[in-house]
Amino acid sequence: MSRYDSRSSDPTSYRDRRSDSGYGGSTGYSGSVRSSSSKNDYYGSEASKKVDLDGLPHFEKNFYIEAPSVAAMTEREVEEYRQRREITVEGRDVPKPVKSFRDVGFPDYVMQEIAKAGFTEPTPIQSQGWPMALKGRDLIGIAETGSGKTLAYLLPAIVHVNAQPILSPGDGPIVLVLAPTRELAVQIQQEATKFGASSKIKNTCIYGGVPKGPQVRDLQKGVEIVIATPGRLIDMMESHHTNLRRVTYLVLDEADRMLDMGFDPQIRKIVSQIRPDRQTLYWSATWPKEVEQLARQFLYNPYKVIIGSPDLKANHAIRQHVDIVSENQKYNKLVKLLEDIMDGSRILIFMDTKKGCDQITRQLRMDGWPALSIHGDKSQAERDWVLSEFRSGKSPIMTATDVAARGLDVKDVKYVINYDFPGSLEDYVHRIGRTGRAGAKGTAYTFFTAANARFAKELIGILEEAGQKVSPELAAMGRGAPPPPSGHGGFRDRGRGYGGGRSWS
Ligand code: AMP
C-alpha cells in the first residue's frame, strides 16, 4: 500500500482528519488574499492584509515523503539530472527530482494506470513537478502542451482529493482546473477520467457553447474535480449550481492564453471565491509581464519550474529566412511571397495584434486569398470553425496572434510567416515550430524591421545554431549598424522566380 493511500492505517489518514475537521461546508470566507508571515514576500503581494481563516477547517496538503533512492542523490547528481532533462528550478527548499514513477510513491491504483498507459519514465515536468506539488506548495510551471504537464498536476490532485473528507450534499469540487478553451478542458478531462477512475473520483467538464443541463446534473450529483472554462463556471456559480467553498487545490492551465483571451476579470472573480490557504498550481507556456503579475497576486511562496533549454534552439528541420523590410513594405511583400509559395499547403501567418490580424486577413480576402484568422477576441464557435477550415485545407491560410495559436496541434503546416516579429526569441522559436513537425520539413519566413533590431543578435545566434544563412544586412544589424534603406531584401531560395539575386538570408 502506498504512503498516500487515504485508506491506509496511518493515524493521520483521511478518516481521522474528517472527524476532527467538522467541516460543515460553509466557510464564511469571502476575501481574496492569502495569508503570509512575510510582508516582503515577492509573491502573495497582498499577503500583508489580514486574512480571516476562522471557521475554515484545516486541510492536509503536504503528502510528500522523499524515497530513499531520491534522498541518496547527491547535489551534483541532481544538478546533472536537471541539466540533462532541461529543468530549471527556482524557489526555497526545492525538492530533488524523481527519476522513476516508483520514486514518487503514488498509490497503487495510480501506478496501475501509469503501467496501463505504457509510460516508461516521468517526463521532465513530472519528475520535478510531482515532488513540488505533493509537498503542498504553490507552483509555477513553465511548460508547453505535450510536455506531460496535465498529469504533472492531475496525479497530485488525485492524491489530494483522496486525503480530504468526502463530499457532503451541496458541496462543490475539491479540485478546480481552469482552462482557456473547451478543447483543452476536454483533453484534461480525458486524463482525469483515465487516472481517477480506479479511485472513484468523479469529474466534470464545464464549458460554454453547449446546453447546461447535463453539466448542472453532474454538479448536483457532486464531483471532486471540476475542469472549467471561466465564463461558464461563473454562470454556474451565479445560478448556485456549484460553489467553490471546498476547493483546496486550484490549477490555472495555460494562464498566458487565458489572459490573451481576456479572461483576467473572470479569473479574479473565481479565485476570490476560493479559500486563501489553498494550493495553487499556475501553468503557462510563456512568462510575459501580465502572466507574472497575476501569479504574484494568486500565489504564495511558490516554486517555479521551467522546462526547456535555457539556450534557445530552433528545430533543424525548418529552413529559416529573414527579410529586412520596412513596416510599409510588409503587405506587398507578403502577397509576393504568397504568390510564390502558395500551392494549397497550409500557411500560418503570425501578427502582433488582434487588430492587425483582422486587418490583414480582410485585405488578403479582398485580394482573393483564402485566409481566415484566429485570435483571442473570437468566440469559441468561430475559433472552432476557423480551425476546422484550416485543418481540412478548405482555407489554407490562417493568420494568428501568438497565444491563440499556442497549443494548436495542426499537422502539415508547410510554411510559417512572421508578418510581425514576435516580442521574444522564445516566441520566435515556438512560432516557427508550428512547421517541421513529426519529422516533416518546414519553412519559416520572417519580416524583420528596424524596430526589431534589438533582437538581431539573438536571432543570428538561433539561425547559426541551426545552420541557416545570415544575410549581410541582418549581420550588420546584429553588430548594431543601422538597417539598410528600405527596398532591399527579399527571400532567396524559394525556387520560382521572385526575389532572385537580392539580399536574403
Ligand atoms: P500534456 O502535455 O499533458 O498535454 O501531455 C501530452 C501527452 O503525453 C498526453 O497524451 C499524455 O497522456 C502523455 N504523457 C503524459 N505523461 C507521460 C509519460 N510520463 N510518458 C509518456 N507519455 C506521457
Does residue 189's CB lie within 6 angstroms of at least one atom of ligand 1? no
User: What string of DSSP letters covers 219-283?
Assistant: HHH--SEEEE-HHHHHHHHHTTS---TT--EEEE-SHHHHHHTT-HHHHHHHHTTS-TTSEEEEE
What digits encode the pLDDT tens for the residues 430-470?
A: 889 888 766 678 999 999 999 999 999 999 999 999 999 99
User: What string of DSSP letters covers 389-405?
Assistant: HHHHTSS-EEEE-HHHH
Distances (CA, A) of 11 to 15, 19, 37, 107, 477: 9, 12, 29, 17, 67
In-domain check, residue 43 = no
Residue nearest to atom 6 of ligand 1 (CA): 146
* Phi, psi torsion values for 304, nearest 5 degrees: -130, 135
Domain identity same for 281 and 326? no
Domain identity same for 337 and 285? no
Beta 413-418 vs 442-448: how paired, if at all?
parallel
In-domain check, residue 133 = yes
From 103, 144, 151, mutation site for ligand 1 pocket: most ligand atoms within 8 A of C-beta: 151
Q: What is the CATH number of the domain that holds 352?
A: 3.40.50.300
Cβ-contact 221, 368 below 8 angstroms:
no
From 85, 111, 123, mutation site for ligand 1 pocket: most ligand atoms within 8 A of C-beta: 123
Does residue 122's CB lie within 6 angstroms of at least one atom of ligand 1? yes
Q: What is the structure's pLDDT at 21?
A: 32
In-domain check, residue 49 = no
Domain identity same for 358 and 296? no
Structural domain that includes position 167? 68-307
Q: At what angle do helices 149-162 and 182-196 cross, to 10 degrees?
A: 50
Domain identity same for 332 and 238? no
User: What string of DSSP letters covers 399-434?
Assistant: EE-HHHHTT---S-EEEEEESS--SSHHHHHHHHTT
Domain identity same for 339 and 263? no
Q: What is the mean pLDDT of residues 32-42?
A: 39
Give the position of cell 479565485: 271
Residue 372 pLDDT > 90, yes or no? Answer: yes
Q: What is the structure's pLDDT at 238?
A: 97
In-domain check, residue 259 = yes
* HSE-CB of 166 using CA atoms within 13 angstroms: 9
Domain boundary among 307, 341, 358: 307
Distance CA(502)–CA(23), nearest Å, equals 74
| Ligand 1: centre distance to CA 490 (Å) | 41
- Confidence band of 34 (pLDDT split at 50, 70, 90): very low
Cβ neighbours for 47, distance < 8 A, ≥ 6 positions apart: 33, 34, 35, 36, 38, 39, 41, 300
- Confidence band of 406 (pLDDT split at 50, 70, 90): low
Q: What is the structure's pLDDT at 47?
A: 39
Residue 49 pLDDT > 70, yes or no? Answer: no
Does residue 449's CB lie within 6 angstroms of at least one atom of ligand 1? no
Does residue 126's CB lie within 6 angstroms of at least one atom of ligand 1? yes
Q: What is the structure's pLDDT at 448?
A: 97
Domain identity same for 225 and 338? no
Q: What is the structure's pLDDT at 11?
A: 29
Distances (CA, A) of 134 to 5, 11, 274, 283, 328: 13, 19, 20, 16, 53
For residue 187, the surrounding DSSP H or E stretch is helix 182-196
Residues in the chain: 505
Lowest mean pLDDT across 158-167, 237-246, 330-339, 399-408: 399-408
- Confidence band of 178 (pLDDT split at 50, 70, 90): very high
Does residue 147's CB lie within 6 angstroms of at least one atom of ligand 1? yes
- Confidence band of 295 (pLDDT split at 50, 70, 90): very high
Q: What is the mean pLDDT of residues 424-435?
A: 86
| Ligand 1: centre distance to CA 297 (Å) | 30
**Position 285, amino acid:** A
Q: What is the structure's pLDDT at 338?
A: 96
Does residue 151's CB lie within 6 angstroms of at least one atom of ligand 1? yes
Does residue 123's CB lie within 6 angstroms of at least one atom of ligand 1? yes
Q: What is the structure's pLDDT at 454?
A: 94
Does residue 242's CB lie within 6 angstroms of at least one atom of ligand 1? no
In-domain check, residue 3 = no
Q: What is the structure's pLDDT at 382?
A: 84
Distance CA(210)–CA(232), nearest Å, equals 10
Beta 371-374 vs 203-206: how paired, if at all?
unpaired
| Ligand 1: centre distance to CA 184 (Å) | 14
Q: What is the structure's pLDDT at 409?
A: 64
Distance CA(179)–CA(395), nearest Å, equals 27
Q: Looking at ligand 1, which atom is closest to the CA of residue 143?
A: 2
In-domain check, residue 330 = yes
Domain identity same for 110 and 224? yes
Identify the bridge partners of residue 438 per DSSP, sorted by sequence position: none
In-domain check, residue 140 = yes
Domain identity same for 266 and 398? no
Cβ-contact 53, 274 below 8 angstroms:
no
Q: What is the mean pLDDT of residues 188-204?
A: 92
Distance between first and last Cα of the chain: 61
Q: Per the structure block, which three cell numbers stand in for 124?
A: 521532465
Domain identity same for 276 and 299? yes
Cβ neighbours for 401, distance < 8 A, ≥ 6 positions apart: 260, 350, 351, 352, 353, 354, 357, 375, 376
Residue nearest to atom 13 of ligand 1 (CA): 148
What does the mean pLDDT of the chain come to?
A: 84
Domain identity same for 285 and 385? no
In-domain check, residue 27 = no
What digits encode the pLDDT tens for the residues 469-483?
A: 999 999 999 988 766
**Position 86, amino acid:** E
What digits encode the pLDDT tens for the residues 258-284?
A: 987 889 999 999 999 999 999 999 999
Does residue 145's CB lie within 6 angstroms of at least one atom of ligand 1? yes
Burial class for 169, CB neighbours closer than 10 Å (0-12, 13-18, 19+): exposed
Look at the chain and report how many structural domains it folds into: 2
Percent of the chain with pLDDT over 70: 82
Domain identity same for 280 and 385? no
| Ligand 1: centre distance to CA 350 (Å) | 28
Lowest mean pLDDT across 17-26, 170-179, 423-432, 464-473: 17-26
Own/partner long-range contacts of 17-24 (Cβ < 8 Å, ≥24 apart): 17/58, 17/59, 17/60, 17/163, 17/164, 17/165, 18/165, 18/166, 20/58, 21/57, 21/58, 21/59, 21/165, 22/57, 23/57, 23/165, 23/168, 24/57
| Ligand 1: centre distance to CA 104 (Å) | 17
Q: What is the structure's pLDDT at 484?
A: 62
Instruction: Spell 207-237 as b/e; 16+ CB within 10 A means b.
Output: bbeeeeeebbebbeebbbbbbbbbbbbbebb
Q: What is the structure's pLDDT at 100?
A: 96
Give the position of cell 479540485: 175
Instruction: Tell me the Cα Rg of the chain.
Output: 25
For residue 141, the surrounding DSSP H or E stretch is strand 139-142
What digits encode the pLDDT tens for the residues 74-116?
A: 999 999 999 999 999 999 999 999 999 999 989 888 899 999 9
Distances (CA, A) of 414 to 348, 383, 463: 8, 21, 19
Residue 495 pLDDT > 90, yes or no? Answer: no
For residue 355, the surrounding DSSP H or E stretch is helix 354-366
Domain identity same for 416 and 449? yes
CA–chain centroid gap for 161, Å, is 23
Q: What is the structure's pLDDT at 443?
A: 95
From 150, 154, 194, 408, mutation site for ligand 1 pocket: most ligand atoms within 8 A of C-beta: 150
